[in-house]
Amino acid sequence: MAILVIAEHDQASLKAVTRNALAAAAKAGGDIHLLVAGNNAAGAVSQGAACAGVAKVLRADAPYYAAPSAENLAALVVSLAGNYSHIFAPASSFGKNFMPRVAALLDVAQISEIIGVESADTFVRPVYAGNALATVQSADKVKVITVRSTAFAAVGDGGSAPVENVAAVPDVGLSKQVALELTKSERPELGAAKVVVAGGRGLGSTENFKKLLEPLADKLGAALGATRAAVDAGYVSNDCQVGQTGKIVAPQLYIAVGISGAIQHLAGMKDSKVIVAINKNEDEPIFQVADYGLVADLNEAVPELIAKL
Amino acid sequence: MKILVPVKRVVDSNVKVRPKADESGVDLANVKMAMNPFDEIAVEEAVRLKEKGVATEVVVVSCGSAASQETLRTALSVGADRAILVDCGDADLQPLAVAKILKAVCASEQPQLVIAGKQSIDDDANQVGQMLSALQGWALAAFASKVEIAGNSAKVTREIDGGLEVLEVPLPAVITADLRLNEPRYPKLPDVMKAKKKPLDTKTPADLGADITPRLKTLKVAEPPKRQGGGKVADVADLVNKLKNEAKVI
């Protein structure tokens, strides 16, 4: 049987996490169909058709798929589910929102945030903030799965899949989007950035975050990240939070500035290739995961680092 | 308006959990337990809605072993009115099963709003609220950072990748609480005493007619690969040199 992957996109283009979900799906074995539910999403549809390994793109078009509610998207996926052995989506705020509804409506388990595919019915997923890895086997008729993007290398282009229109399901008409405030940033997207510069409570103020971290991020072409404490203190917006319940990142280089290294934060970044920690207290747990720990006052070390780069 | 809040007893968030040597699960012997932090936020939000006069009653429900009574008493001590323990013994309770139990509780309690934590910090599944909304055919507003109730609908600000989204949801609905919805209060000693006298009913999944058969079989629970950290650099110049010439990442 074939595998259905749900695309995350903004009509014009596919979000990078869709490509990671496609990579995970490829490991389960079977023809891969990519569902692009949108409204005039020609850009996303053509990018989806060009992804390596995609056998067919399913296009569902309706005004209420422009910013689909969990209710509408789940109803659409359930209407298609009969043909599939697996349904994959990214474990982003997009996928986490509607996929459990799909699973419940199909009366099957959801397997959340997988980091490995052992076989068509057996998957590995982190539990307890990544302090343990559970290998789980599903006997359900359809496997509903969300994918941790950092665990699967994105598929590239190289496909030329046909596009088939599928019927929209009538508007369920429950929740409605009334406003959307996206953080505007010239910096790379946190989840996909090669370099992440992240700050914690040690920064001490919003001004320091701006004065110290932003120039460092700009110098390195990096995305900005933060701990829960820094977000709660209002230094940066919520979408910068890295950790167990925020974003999970695994860049080539992660620079942790003024971060102590709580379990919940480590859960979001410990798979980074190289970790740098700058903190004045050498007993902080962040140093246990850092490849390069610098015990120093960040107010002096960060400007010096910017100057030397 | 009646609000139902599911709460879960989990390992305290400060405990670093380790898998057992035989990989059959994690070692929970003598580990400190607490209410799931997201559920504390959910309870707080419900209690605040009651204090504002929006809600009339806050009912908390926990699915788990008899020890979950402690968690329910904690919720009662910060302002919930009444508690229901669905005693599942030591069954392997998975999110779909919990959602089915909660559906049965909704059928008898008829809440207008369910506020759940977005995720429990033990199995990190992030499913129950969404699943319950589907089983009920209700609207869902997941990952809420602000909730305003106006008549028969709620305006919910939710934290999404890239920013914030505001949804208008008709009631009844399920809302799941994110970290920044509120800052939960600590129970006061007199309230802890009073909470012992608040009603706590016990039911079983069988009483409720809920099928809690696990769907996933856990084959093993293993230690993640160890990261070799602990390296130090002398100064900023040393750091830049190593990043350039040793790690080759800049």
Q: Which residues of A200-218 are buried (b: 16+ CB within 10 A; e: fewer)?
A: bbbbbeeebbeebbbebbe
DSSP B143: E
Residues of B whose CB is below 8 A from A195: 249-250
CA distance A300 to A304: 6
**β-bridge mates for residue A135, sequence order:** A124, B220
CATH 3.40.50.620 fits B2-245, yes or no: yes
Q: Is B131 part of the contact surface with chain A (CB cutoff 8 Å)?
A: yes
A192 or B80: whose pLDDT is higher? B80
Which stretches does DSSP call E strand in A75-169?
84-90, 110-114, 116-119, 122-127, 132-138, 143-147, 163-165
- A128 φ/ψ angles, rounded to the nearest 5 degrees: 50, 55
The nearest CA of chain A is from the CA of B24 a distance in Å of 9
Amino acid letter for position A92: S
Q: Answer yes or no: is pLDDT of A2 > 90.
A: yes
A122 and B235 within 8 Å at the Cβ level: the answer is no
Provide the pLDDT for residue A191: 87
By DSSP bridging, strand A132-138 and strand A143-147 are unpaired
Tell me: the pLDDT tens digits for A96-106? 999 999 999 99
Provide the pLDDT for residue A192: 86
DSSP B29: T
What global pTM score does this model have?
Answer: 0.96
Structure tokens at A248: 């999970």
Q: Is A250 part of the contact surface with chain B (CB cutoff 8 Å)?
A: no
Provide the pLDDT for residue A262: 96
CA distance B230 to A49: 45
Provide the pLDDT for residue A185: 86
CA angle, residues A136, A151, A122, in degrees to nearest 5: 20
CA distance A261 to A245: 15
**H/E segment holding residue B76:** helix B68-77
Tell me: the pLDDT tens digits for A47-85? 999 999 999 999 999 999 999 999 999 999 999 999 999
Q: Answer yes or no: is pLDDT of A184 > 90.
A: no
Spans of all domains in chain B: 2-245
Question: With contact defined as beta carbons under 8 Å apart, do B239 and B233 qualify?
Answer: yes
Q: Is A230 part of the contact surface with chain B (CB cutoff 8 Å)?
A: no
Residues of chain B with pLDDT under 50: none
Question: Band of the pLDDT at A161, cuts 50, 70, 90?
Answer: very high
Provide the pLDDT for residue B224: 95
CA distance B189 to A8: 49
Residues of A whose CB is below 8 A from B133: 70-71, 101
Q: Is B145 part of the contact surface with chain A (CB cutoff 8 Å)?
A: yes
Tell me: the pLDDT tens digits for A235-293? 999 999 999 989 999 999 999 999 999 999 999 999 999 999 999 999 999 999 999 99
* Residue with token string 């850009």: A43
